[in-house]
Amino acid sequence: MCLAVVPGDGHLDLKALARASGDRRIELVALREVTPLTGYVRGGVTALAGKKDYPVYLDETAILFEKIAVSAGTRGLQIVLHPDDYVRATRATLCPLVQGA
């Protein structure tokens, strides 16, 4: 299991995530499994202070911005920070993750 972070208007490329993570194949987790696996509800999942320390893969375009907004762990609550701070806090791997990018 891993966490993928893509821009809000982007679509996750599962093949790109599989390449980045070294897996042959990646599937999305069923919605009913999100809370037991992460401790968060849909719309509030974050790599910051998660229930478990999953590997995090961040779309490489994040570093093009001075600030990014990511979930703060509650539906509707965001935290705004510099991409480098997010990478450092989550130990994220930067890689291409968006379809058609």
* Predicted confidence (pLDDT) per residue in 85-98, tens digit: 999 999 999 999 99
Q: How confident is the model at residue 14 (pLDDT cuts 50, 70, 90)?
A: very high
Residue 65 is classified by DSSP as S
What pLDDT is recorded for position 50? 79
For the whole model, what pTM was predicted?
Answer: 0.92
Q: Which CATH class is domain 3-95?
A: alpha beta
**Taking the CA of residue 65 as centre, how many other CA atoms within 13 Å lie in the half-sphere pointing to its CB?**
15
What pLDDT is recorded for position 39? 86
What pLDDT is recorded for position 52? 86
* Predicted confidence (pLDDT) per residue in 28-64, tens digit: 999 999 999 888 888 889 999 877 889 999 999 999 9
Could you state, in order of their start, the residue ranges of all structural domains in the chain? 3-95
Runs of H (alpha helix) within 54-96: 83-90
φ/ψ (deg, to 5) at 17: -65, -40
Which residues is 95 bridged to in the sheet?
A: 59
What pLDDT is recorded for position 101? 60
